[in-house]
Amino acid sequence: MGKSISGFIILFVHTFLLISAIRASTDTLTPGQSIRDGDLLVSADGSFELGFFSPGISKGRYLGIWYQKISAGTVVWVANRETPLNDSSGALIVTDQGILILLNSSKDAIWSSNASRTAQNPVMKLLDSGNLVVKDINDNSENFLWQSFDYPGDTLLPGMKWGRNMVTGLDRYLSSWKSSNDPAQGEFTFRIDPRGNTQMLLMRGPKILYRTGTWNGYRWTGTPQLEPNMLYTYGFISTATEMYYKFDLINSSVASRIVMNSSGAAQRFTWITRTNSWARFSAVLLYQCDDYALCGAYGSCNVNKQPVCACLEGFIPKSPKDWSIQEWSDGCVRRTKLDCDKGDRFLQHGGVKLPDMIKSWVDTSKGLKECKDLCLKNCSCVAYANSDIRGGGSGCLLWFDELIDTRELTTGGQDLYIRIAASELYNIEKNRSSDKKQLGIIVGTIITIVGVLVLAFILYARRKKLKKQANMKTSHLQNYEDEDQRKEDMELPTFDLSTIANATDNFSSRNKLGEGGFGSVYKGTLIEGQEVAVKRLSKNSGQGLTEFKNEVILIAKLQHRNLVKLLGCCIEGDERILIYEYMPNKSLDYFIFDKKTRNSSDWRIWINIVGGIARGLLYLHQDSRLRIIHRDLKAANVLLDNGMNPKISDFGLARTFGGDQTEANTNKIVGTYGYMSPEYAVDGFFSVKSDVFSFGVLVLEIVSGKKNRGFNHPDHHHNLLGHAWRLWNEGMPLELINEPEQDSCTLSEIIRCIHVGLLCVQKRPEDRPNMSSVIVMLSSGISLPQPKQPGFFTERNLPERESSSSNQKSFSTNEITVSFLGPR
Ligand SMILES: *[C@@H]1O[C@H](CO)[C@@H](O)[C@H](O)[C@H]1NC(C)=O
Ligand SMILES: *[C@@H]1O[C@H](CO)[C@@H](O)[C@H](O)[C@H]1NC(C)=O
Ligand SMILES: *[C@@H]1O[C@H](CO)[C@@H](O)[C@H](O)[C@H]1NC(C)=O
Ligand SMILES: *[C@@H]1O[C@H](CO)[C@@H](O)[C@H](O)[C@H]1NC(C)=O
Ligand SMILES: *[C@@H]1O[C@H](CO)[C@@H](O)[C@H](O)[C@H]1NC(C)=O
Ligand SMILES: *[C@@H]1O[C@H](CO)[C@@H](O)[C@H](O)[C@H]1NC(C)=O
> CATH number of the domain that 745 lies in?
1.10.510.10
Please give the number of the atom of ligand 6 that sits closest to the Cα of 781. Answer: 5
Question: Is the distance from the beta carbon of residue 168 to the nearest atom of ligand 3 less than 6 Å?
Answer: no
Candidates 534, 565, 536, 569; CA nearest to 550 is: 569
Q: How many domains does the chain have?
A: 6
Protein residue whose Cα sits closest to atom 3 of ligand 3? 114
Protein residue whose Cα sits closest to atom 4 of ligand 6? 781
Question: Is the distance from the beta carbon of residue 262 to the nearest atom of ligand 4 less than 6 Å?
Answer: yes
pLDDT score recorded for residue 281: 76
Which residues have CB under 8 Å from 15's CB, separation 6+? none
Question: Is the distance from the beta carbon of residue 782 to the nearest atom of ligand 6 less than 6 Å?
Answer: yes
pLDDT score recorded for residue 557: 80
Ligand nearest to the CA of 362: 5
Q: Which residues of the chain have pLDDT under 70?
A: 1-25, 72, 274-275, 433-491, 516-517, 540-544, 599-601, 623-626, 652-670, 738-745, 794-824
314 and 404 in a common domain = yes
Question: Is the distance from the beta carbon of residue 378 to the nearest atom of ligand 5 less than 6 Å?
Answer: yes
* Pocket perturbation via mutation, ligand 5, pick of 380, 397, 398 by most ligand atoms within 8 A of CB: 380
Alpha carbons within 13 A on the beta-carbon side of 274 = 15
* Pocket perturbation via mutation, ligand 4, pick of 155, 209, 259, 261 by most ligand atoms within 8 A of CB: 261
Ligand 2 centroid to residue 102 C-alpha, Å = 12
* Pocket perturbation via mutation, ligand 2, pick of 15, 108, 110 by most ligand atoms within 8 A of CB: 108
Distance CA 281, CA 265 (A): 13
820 within 8 A of 801, measured Cβ to Cβ: yes
C-alpha torsion sign, points 753, 756, 760, 763: positive
Protein residue whose Cα sits closest to atom 5 of ligand 6? 781
Question: Is the distance from the beta carbon of residue 71 to the nearest atom of ligand 4 less than 6 Å?
Answer: no
pLDDT score recorded for residue 129: 96
pLDDT score recorded for residue 742: 60
pLDDT score recorded for residue 132: 97
pLDDT score recorded for residue 476: 33
Distance CA 279, CA 777 (A): 12
As annotated, the active-site residues are 632
C-alpha torsion sign, points 509, 513, 519, 525: negative
796 and 725 in a common domain = yes
DSSP string, 39-88: B-EE-TTSSEEEEEE--TT---BEEEEEESSSSTT-EEEESSSSS-BSSS
Ligand nearest to the CA of 777: 6
The 3-state secondary structure of 390-423 reads HHHCECEEEECCCCECEEECCCCCEEEEEEECHH
Question: Is the distance from the beta carbon of residue 110 to the nearest atom of ligand 1 less than 6 Å?
Answer: yes
Ligand 5 centroid to residue 384 C-alpha, Å = 14
Domain span holding position 277: 153-286
DSSP H stretches of helix in 684-787 = 688-704, 720-729, 744-760, 771-779
pLDDT score recorded for residue 322: 92
Please give the number of the atom of ligand 4 that sits closest to the Cα of 261. Answer: 1
Distance CA 660, CA 542 (A): 11
* Pocket perturbation via mutation, ligand 6, pick of 782, 784, 786 by most ligand atoms within 8 A of CB: 782
Candidates 484, 451, 605; CA nearest to 550 is: 484
Protein residue whose Cα sits closest to atom 14 of ligand 1? 85
Which residues have CB under 8 Å from 422's CB, separation 6+? 339, 342, 343, 344, 345, 445, 446
The H or E element that residue 323 is part of is helix 320-324
Distance CA 478, CA 462 (A): 25
DSSP H stretches of helix in 236-283 = none
63 within 8 A of 79, measured Cβ to Cβ: yes
219 and 304 in a common domain = no
Ligand 1 centroid to residue 86 C-alpha, Å = 6
Q: Per DSSP, what are the bridge partners of residue 713? A: 716
215 and 308 in a common domain = no
697 and 606 in a common domain = yes
Distance CA 444, CA 438 (A): 10
Question: Is the distance from the beta carbon of residue 114 to the nearest atom of ligand 3 less than 6 Å?
Answer: yes
Q: Burial-class residue 84 by CB neighbours within 10 Å (0-12, 13-18, 19+).
A: buried
Residues in the chain: 824
Q: Provide φ and ψ at 91, rounded to 5°.
A: -150, 140
pLDDT score recorded for residue 661: 39
Question: Is the distance from the beta carbon of residue 253 to the nearest atom of ligand 6 less than 6 Å?
Answer: yes
795 and 723 in a common domain = yes
397 within 8 A of 362, measured Cβ to Cβ: yes
Ligand nearest to the CA of 230: 6
Ligand nearest to the CA of 60: 1
Q: Provide φ and ψ at 178, rounded to 5°.
A: -65, -40
Q: Of 151, 177, 210, which one is at a domain's C-terminal end?
A: 151
Amino acid at 167: V
Which residues have CB under 8 Å from 331's CB, separation 6+? 295, 296, 297, 298, 299, 311, 317, 318, 402, 404
92 and 226 in a common domain = no
Ligand nearest to the CA of 259: 4
Ligand 2 centroid to residue 111 C-alpha, Å = 12
Please give the number of the atom of ligand 3 that sits closest to the Cα of 116. Answer: 13
Protein residue whose Cα sits closest to atom 4 of ligand 1? 86
pLDDT score recorded for residue 19: 40
Ligand 4 centroid to residue 557 C-alpha, Å = 19
787 and 698 in a common domain = yes
The distance in angstroms from the start CA to the end CA of the chain is 63
Protein residue whose Cα sits closest to atom 7 of ligand 4? 265
268 within 8 A of 256, measured Cβ to Cβ: yes
Here the CATH number for the domain that contains residue 268 is 2.90.10
Q: Which long-range contacts (CB under 8 A, 24 or more apart) does 187-194 make?
A: 187/264, 188/260, 188/262, 188/263, 188/264, 190/260, 190/266, 192/162, 192/163, 192/164, 192/243, 192/244, 192/245, 193/358, 194/164, 194/243
C-alpha separations of 284 from 224, 239, 486, 590 in Å: 11, 27, 36, 39
* Pocket perturbation via mutation, ligand 3, pick of 114, 164, 170, 172 by most ligand atoms within 8 A of CB: 114
Protein residue whose Cα sits closest to atom 11 of ligand 3? 114
Question: Is the distance from the beta carbon of residue 376 to the nearest atom of ligand 5 less than 6 Å?
Answer: no
Ligand 2 centroid to residue 83 C-alpha, Å = 10
pLDDT score recorded for residue 545: 72
Distance CA 566, CA 551 (A): 12
Q: 228's torsion region: left (phi>0), alpha (psi -120 to 50) or beta?
A: beta
Protein residue whose Cα sits closest to atom 5 of ligand 1? 86
293 and 280 in a common domain = no
157 and 217 in a common domain = yes
Distance CA 705, CA 594 (A): 8
Q: 357's torsion region: left (phi>0), alpha (psi -120 to 50) or beta?
A: alpha
Q: Of 256, 286, 316, which one is at a domain's C-terminal end?
A: 286
**Which residues belong to the annotated binding site for ATP?**
535
Ligand 4 centroid to residue 392 C-alpha, Å = 40
Question: Is the distance from the beta carbon of residue 83 to the nearest atom of ligand 1 less than 6 Å?
Answer: yes
Q: Per DSSP, what are the bridge partners of residue 334? A: 315
Question: Is the distance from the beta carbon of residue 351 to the nearest atom of ligand 6 less than 6 Å?
Answer: no
Distance CA 344, CA 557 (A): 45
Distance CA 300, CA 308 (A): 8
This model's pTM is above 0.85 = no
pLDDT score recorded for residue 469: 44
Q: Of 532, 551, 581, which one is at a domain's C-terminal end?
A: 581
Ligand 2 centroid to residue 174 C-alpha, Å = 29
Question: Is the distance from the beta carbon of residue 104 to the nearest atom of ligand 1 less than 6 Å?
Answer: yes
Distance CA 133, CA 100 (A): 10
Ligand nearest to the CA of 182: 4
Ligand 3 centroid to residue 724 C-alpha, Å = 59
95 and 120 in a common domain = yes
Question: Is the distance from the beta carbon of residue 361 to the nearest atom of ligand 5 less than 6 Å?
Answer: yes
**Which residues belong to the annotated binding site?**
535
562 within 8 A of 571, measured Cβ to Cβ: no
817 and 673 in a common domain = yes
pLDDT score recorded for residue 678: 85
Q: 705's torsion region: left (phi>0), alpha (psi -120 to 50) or beta?
A: left
Amino acid at 466: L
C-alpha separations of 252 from 128, 167, 522 in Å: 10, 31, 52
- Eight-state DSSP code of residue 585: T
The H or E element that residue 470 is part of is helix 452-487
Q: Is the peptide bond before 307 cis (omega within 30 degrees of 0)?
A: yes
